[in-house]
Each structure stands twice: as C-alpha cells, then as structure tokens.
C-alpha cells in the first residue's frame, strides 16, 4: 500500500512536526496575514500611530461598518492583518485583560505585558490537538510608563517591539520605504504622514481619505484616538 511522498500529511494536525522541523499549520497562518489588507504601525518620540488600508469589498456593503482599528484601553489602540474574526476575538480578550489589570492594580496595563498575554494564547493554539493557530497578526500602539510603544504579535505567539512595522499583502514595499524615511525624532503629524506616504507608495491607485483608517496617541495627553474622516483629510 502506498502512502504517498514522505512530506505529505504533515499539515493535517497542529501537533505534528515535519522532518525538517516545520509546523505547516503555523506557516499557513502566516500566509493568511500576508494576504491581509496593508497595515502600518509607527512610533516616534512624539507618540505612536497606526495607518490601515480600507477597501470596499462590495458595493452593497456599508463601508462605515468596516473597522480595522480599535481602542483597547485609553492608552492603547490595536489593528491587525489577517482573518478578521480571529482579530476580533483576540481584541475582545485584550480588553478584558486590560480591564482586569486596572481593577486589580489601579493602574494602566503595560503594553508589553498585554502583548505577551495575547501571545500566550496564540502560542497555546500552536501545540494542542483539535485547534488551529490564529491567522492574524496584531499591532499594539500606545504610551505607558516607558513612553511610546509599538508591538507586533505573530500567529506563532512571538512578539517584538518595533519603531515601524508593516503587515499585509504590500508590506514588503512599505517596509522598504519606511527603512529609508523613518526617523525617531518625527512629530506626531509627521509620523502619521509618513504612514500615509508609505501606503501610497505601495498601492497603485490614488489614496483617498475614505480608503484609510488612522489611529494615534501623543505623549502630551496619552489618549488613543481614532481619526475622523475630517482629520484624515487634513493630512492630504
């Protein structure tokens, strides 16, 4: 009886390593992130911002209900690339963690600690039978006692701090642009404008305010805000 080539079948369960040490289901989750809408996070000495591409999937969809940037706590905002339903569940979980921390310790949750808690859940879903990895990468942007913070959590459960990071299908073009133009000394307005310019560099058509979502937080008030369409228009 033939069972096919030796490499076949290693992607059928999350608990099986391939002979070369790979877990294919986790790699498939990374592919879901790479196919997502282009998503950018940037921090500078003045604050942090997230800039997200927003597409109208169908002419029958009310685009005002499409949301990619969310507020977790007063000092933290998040966005994601990948499977939207996975992102929604993890963001709701992050809100619960932030609320519990504030209730127990009477202080805002550190952003790295929150990112770690979400990554603990993500990692657990890479090693148990009967589940699949979360096909989403989440960017946390905010300000805590350490200053402006920007963390990206991967489907594997790893997280890292960034000055600037891009996710989604055009992330390579955006990353190359940010590597050339980024400076930590940028003002908050310049930081947001850099994100818009990087996204415009990556897409073919002209970028319009209605095709964007922007969230930002400044070191002055330390409150995360989601920009209105009028605010977004002021950056063009």
| pTM for the whole structure | 0.92
Query: Which runs of consecutive H residues, i.e. helices, occur in the chain?
Result: 24-34, 84-105, 111-124, 171-181, 188-202, 229-233
Question: Binning pLDDT at 50, 70 and 90, where does residue 8 land?
Answer: low
Residue 82 confidence (pLDDT): 95
Contact 133, 31 (CB under 8 A): no
Residue 206 confidence (pLDDT): 87
Asked whether residue 159 is assigned to any structural domain, the reply reads: yes
**Straight-line distance from the first to the last Cα atom of the chain, in angstroms, rounded to the nearest whole number:** 65
CATH number at residue 188: 3.60.20.10
Reduced to 3 states, what is the DSSP secondary structure of residue 226? strand
Asked whether residue 185 is assigned to any structural domain, the reply reads: yes
* 79, containing H or E segment: strand 76-82
Asked whether residue 17 is assigned to any structural domain, the reply reads: no
Q: How far apart are CA 41 and CA 161, in angstroms?
A: 11
Question: Binning pLDDT at 50, 70 and 90, where does residue 4 land?
Answer: very low
Q: What are phi and psi of 63, to 5 degrees?
A: -65, -20
| Centroid of chain to Cα 132 | 19
Question: Binning pLDDT at 50, 70 and 90, where does residue 220 land?
Answer: very high
Asked whether residue 4 is assigned to any structural domain, the reply reads: no
Higher pLDDT, 202 or 1: 202
pLDDT at residue 1 tops 60: no
Q: What are phi and psi of 130, to 5 degrees?
A: 85, 5
The residue-averaged pLDDT of 16-45 equals 93
Q: Which domain holds residue 147?
A: 24-230
Tokens of 223: 């409150």
Q: How far apart are CA 166 and CA 22, in angstroms?
A: 24
pLDDT at residue 3 tops 80: no
Asked whether residue 153 is assigned to any structural domain, the reply reads: yes
The residue-averaged pLDDT of 112-127 equals 97
Q: Tell me: the pLDDT tens digits for 63-104?
A: 778 899 999 999 999 999 999 999 999 999 999 999 999 999
Q: How far apart are CA 129 and CA 151, in angstroms?
A: 28
Q: How far apart are CA 123 and CA 110, in angstroms?
A: 20
pLDDT at residue 167 tops 70: yes
Closest CA to 81 of 41, 129, 27, 23: 41
Asked whether residue 13 is assigned to any structural domain, the reply reads: no
Asked whether residue 201 is assigned to any structural domain, the reply reads: yes
| Overall number of domains in the chain | 1
Asked whether residue 8 is assigned to any structural domain, the reply reads: no
């Amino acid at each position: 009886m033939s069972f096919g080539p030796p490499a076949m079948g290693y992607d059928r369960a999350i608990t099986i390593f391939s002979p070369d040490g790979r877990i294919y289901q986790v790699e498939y989750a990374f592919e879901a992130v790479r196919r997502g809408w282009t998503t950018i996070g940037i921090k500078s000495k003045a604050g942090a911002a997230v800039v997200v591409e927003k597409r109208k999937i169908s002419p029958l969809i009310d685009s005002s209900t499409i949301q990619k940037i969310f507020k977790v706590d007063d000092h933290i905002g998040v966005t994601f690339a990948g499977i939207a339903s996975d992102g929604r569940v993890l963001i709701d979980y992050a809100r619960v963690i932030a609320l519990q921390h504030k209730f127990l310790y009477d202080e805002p949750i550190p952003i790295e600690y929150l990112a770690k808690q979400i990554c603990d859940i993500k990692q657990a879903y890479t090693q148990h039978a009967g589940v699949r990895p979360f096909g989403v990468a989440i960017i946390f942007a905010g300000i805590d006692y350490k200053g402006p913070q920007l963390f990206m959590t991967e489907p594997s459960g790893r997280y890292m701090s960034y000055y600037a990071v891009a996710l989604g299908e055009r992330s390579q073009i955006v990353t190359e642009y940010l590597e050339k133009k980024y400076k930590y000394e940028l003002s908050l307005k310049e930081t947001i404008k850099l994100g818009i310019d990087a996204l415009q560099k990556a897409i073919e058509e002209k970028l319009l305010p209605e095709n964007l979502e922007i969230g930002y937080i400044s070191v002055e008030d330390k409150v995360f805000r989601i920009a209105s369409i009028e605010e977004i228009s002021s950056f063009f």
